[in-house]
Each structure stands twice: as structure tokens, then as C-alpha cells.
Structure 1
Amino acid sequence: MTTTDTALRHGERVAVARLHAMLELLPSALDKQLSPASLTAFEFTLLEALAEADGHRLRLSALASRTNATLPRLSRVVTGLERKGLVARAACPEDGRASNAVLTDAGREAFHDTRPLHADAVRAMVLDGLTDAEVDALADLTLKILGRLDPDRRLTVTADLETACAADPAPCDADPAPCAADPAPECPADPAGA
């Protein structure tokens, strides 16, 4: 039973309702915008993570952590990307029980070709009209919420919230990234096309 003392204020209810609506609408809206590339937003996120990884490969468990996915979901999506020829699975040399996802040449090309489409979609649906300060505030607020959703810090995005976020992309100046789940920044000499 809820009492008046513990009930959400109207402003809190509005904030949560808007957040919930955004979480429901944004993935399918991004999927629709990426459909000309025959990729979903989540598939793009996986390709991006692999494109930014050393040797364009990650253990499936690390890729799941990096993309905030469950291992079963990640495995299904990797299988779909394998069918498209964008990703290959390879045995992990450090651990025979583990598998790596490896970005293929076709996967690197698909990622590189889809980046502008993804960037345009994200700008149009999320970032346009926001100031740099508002974008920074959005990043800070979402990271705080993610920290509460993963209090045990099992996901890459919440691994070390006190100092940084292991899921952030590496900045162009090679300083450590604040959160590993975030995509890499656009750099003048973009290695994604390499």
C-alpha cells in the first residue's frame, strides 16, 4: 500500500513517464532510420564496439557487457550478423571455453557506410536543439540512472562510476574514456574506415 509520504510527486511521475516513453520509442525509431542499411540500432552498436576494439575482436561476454546486453540476446544478434557476413566467431586463444566476435572486412565496411546514417538519425531524434551543456547533462543523468540499475557494476557502462565509465569511447587525444559503453568520438583521422 502506498502512502502519501512515499508517493511520487507529480513532477517525478512526469519525468519517469517521459523517460519510459523515450525508452520505448527511440529503439524502433532508430531501427526505422537504419533500415536502408539493413541494420538495427543494436546491430550497429555491436559493429561499433567491434570496430573500436583492439584487433576488431571482443569476447562475447565482453561484447555483451560493452553493449549492456544479456549473453543470450547478444549471441542471437551475433548469429544474425554472421549470416550477413559482417561478424565471424573465433575461438578465444586465451580461454578455450570462450568465443570471440570478430568484425569482418564486410562488417567494417558496413559500419563505416552506416555511421553517417546513424549520426543523422541520432542528431535528428535526440541531439538537435540541445546545447553542449544539455548534452553533457543528459550524459550525466543517464549515467547516474544506469548506476542505480546496475548497483553491482556488472556492466561495462557502470564498472567504475566514481572516476570514469569504461564503456565511453576513447577521446581523440587518447586520454582514458569516461564510460566504455559510449561510442568513440569523431576524430579528424577516423580509424573506422581503415
Structure 2
Amino acid sequence: MTTRWLTSEEQRAWRAYLAASSLLEDAIDRQLQQQAGLPHLYYSVLANLSEAPDRRLRMTDLAASLKVTRSRLTYAVARLEKDGTVRREACPGDGRGSIAVLTEAGARLLERTAPGHVETVRAAVFDRLTPEQVEQFEEICARIAGALGNEEERTACGDALPWRRRSSGR
């Protein structure tokens, strides 16, 4: 099998993506650490729970929503539990499952932190794009995520999705 090397245009696009994604993640993490002492993942846990019915989600569903391993999510939720922003409850009818619940303290923290987070995202991404580029950006990201998230395609290659893996290898 011959390797299909990237064309010069593809190489430039790939490197631009790598630079943008690294710098964006750094900007978001810095803002959240400075404002709330939270890494981006922890903020995302709080935000996802705030949007869920009754501010609660099964841990497996939360891991799938966040696209992280179950072990990484368990670690994050344990830290958030210590801070009093999330609590875990047993899953009714499933002794092995658990549910993450956003507490009032977590909701207040999210309410204080969300405006700064949104402003960082807006300034770093959306203020730099035209409405047409925003639409293209969404289409491109959705296409890539759809292909990578295709369970049948990944399973055929023996590559489980992150939230199905037992550990993150970190």
C-alpha cells in the first residue's frame, strides 16, 4: 500500500488547524483558570449538566457528550464533587451506573463563569469570521466529527470511541 502524502495545500491547512486548535484551547483554559480555577473540561462538565433535564446525566452519557474517556470523566467529576459543584447519585435500576448532578453551587459558578467564557470564544473565533465562514466552519467540523464518530466505521477498525474506552492512557 502506498502512502497518500498530504499535498502542499493539505499540509498548510493541517498545520493551520493544529496551530489554531492548540492556541484556542490554551486561550480558553487560561481564561477559565484565571476566572474560576477550572480547566476547560471541568467547565464543560458543568455546562453539559446545566443543559440536561433536571441538571443530571448518566456518567456514560456525559462522557459521550464530552467525547472523553470514562476514567477521565470520573477523575474530573471527583474533583468537582470535592468543590461541591457536582454530586454523584446511584443510577436507579442499575447498580453499576451513576448519575452526575449539577448542584446549586455548580450552577452559581457556571453563571458567574459563562459570560467570560463566551466572550473568550467569541473574540477568538466568531468575531474573526463572516457569517458565511461561520456556516462553513460548522459544516466542516460537523463533517469531520460525523466521520470520526461513526461507531460502525471505527469499530470495524478496532478503534473504540473515547467514551467507550476503559482508560485514557494518560
TM-score range, shorter chain: 0.7 to 0.9
Which residue of structure 2 lines up, in the alignment, with residue 22 of structure 1? 20
Which residue of structure 2 lines up, in the alignment, with residue 95 of structure 1? 94
> Which whole-Å deviations, capped at 9, do the CAs of 1:55-89 have from their partners, x for residues lacking one?
10001000000111110111111111111110001
Which residue of structure 2 lines up, in the alignment, with residue 40 of structure 1? 39
1:148: how far off?
A: 2.3
- In 2, Cα distance between equivalents of 1:136 and 1:21: 21
User: Aligned partner of 1:30: which letter?
Assistant: I
Gaps in structure 2 of 5+ consecutive residues: 154-170
- In 2, Cα distance between equivalents of 1:79 and 1:69: 15
- In 2, Cα distance between equivalents of 1:81 and 1:137: 36
Pick 1 or 2: higher relative contact order, CA cutoff 8 A, min separation 6: 2
User: Aligned partner of 1:68: which letter?
Assistant: K
Which shifted more, 32-41 or 19-28? 19-28
- In 1, Cα distance between equivalents of 2:108 and 2:93: 28
1:142: how far off?
A: 0.7
Q: 1:137 to 1:39 in 2, by over 3 A?
A: same
Which residue of structure 1 lines up, in the alignment, with residue 68 of structure 2? 69
Residue 82 of structure 1 contacts residue 88 of structure 1 at CA under 8 Å; is this kept in 2?
yes
User: Aligned partner of 2:106: which letter?
Assistant: G
Gaps in structure 1 of 5+ consecutive residues: 155-194
- What TM-score, normalized by structure 2, do the two folds share? 0.83
Q: 1:92 to 1:47 in 2, by over 3 A?
A: same
1:153: how far off?
A: 6.5
Which residue of structure 2 lines up, in the alignment, with residue 128 of structure 1? 127
Which residue of structure 2 lines up, in the alignment, with residue 112 of structure 1? 111
**What is the total number of aligned residue pairs between the two structures?**
152
Amino-acid identity (%): 39
Q: Secondary structure at the match of 2:96?
A: strand
Q: Secondary structure at the match of 2:11?
A: helix
1:34: how far off?
A: 1.2
- In 1, Cα distance between equivalents of 2:131 and 2:80: 34
> Which whole-Å deviations, capped at 9, do the CAs of 1:97-135 have from their partners, x for residues lacking one?
100000000001111111101001101111112122211
- In 2, Cα distance between equivalents of 1:139 and 1:28: 21
Q: Secondary structure at the match of 1:89?
A: strand
1:2: how far off?
A: 5.3
> Which whole-Å deviations, capped at 9, do the CAs of 1:132-178 have from their partners, x for residues lacking one?
22112111101111122222179xxxxxxxxxxxxxxxxxxxxxxxx
User: Aligned partner of 2:131: which letter?
Assistant: D
Residue 147 of structure 1 contacts residue 153 of structure 1 at CA under 8 Å; is this kept in 2?
no
Q: Secondary structure at the match of 1:128?
A: helix
- In 2, Cα distance between equivalents of 1:17 and 1:129: 19
User: Aligned partner of 1:43: which letter?
Assistant: Y
- In 2, Cα distance between equivalents of 1:33 and 1:71: 26
